[in-house]
Amino acid sequence: MQFITSNFFPISLALMSGAMLLWNILGNRVRGITDVDTSGAVQLINHKNAFVLDVRQPDEFKTGHLLNAHLIPLGKLKERIGELTKYQDKPIVVVCRSGNRSGMACATLAKQGFTQTYNLSGGMMAWQKASLPVQK
């Protein structure tokens, strides 16, 4: 007991760090976000014919995007979600620059009943770092 009272702050800090890490892992699942790395995304695109949704801004998209990607900026996703209804039960790989906006897009799509959304971890930065093809 003396150890706990003497080290209350470091123990609390360790517990909070663990809880935040656990929430990051489980929270994404609860919000409907499934992360996929670049090789997993390639597998989905090539073998499952996944639809590629880019949620960046048009100027970012013009600098380079995944082959056959469709652009719907995150800010317009809710109003344009009707364009994606035919992909509601099909795999969708969602891409942004780093993986943050695409995670939000996956959560939005999950709330609308999309069952197979995948957030590209690391986004276009990871894609380019892996030297995968980019279309301009």
Catalytic residue positions, numbered: 96
**Residue 105, φ and ψ in degrees, nearest 5:** -65, -40
Q: Is the dihedral of CA 25, 27, 30, 32 positive or negative?
A: negative
Instruction: At 99, list the tokens.
Output: 């993986």
- Backbone conformation region of residue 51, classed left if phi is above 0, alpha if psi is from -120 to 50, else beta: beta
Closest C-alpha to 128, from 100, 106, 94, 98: 98
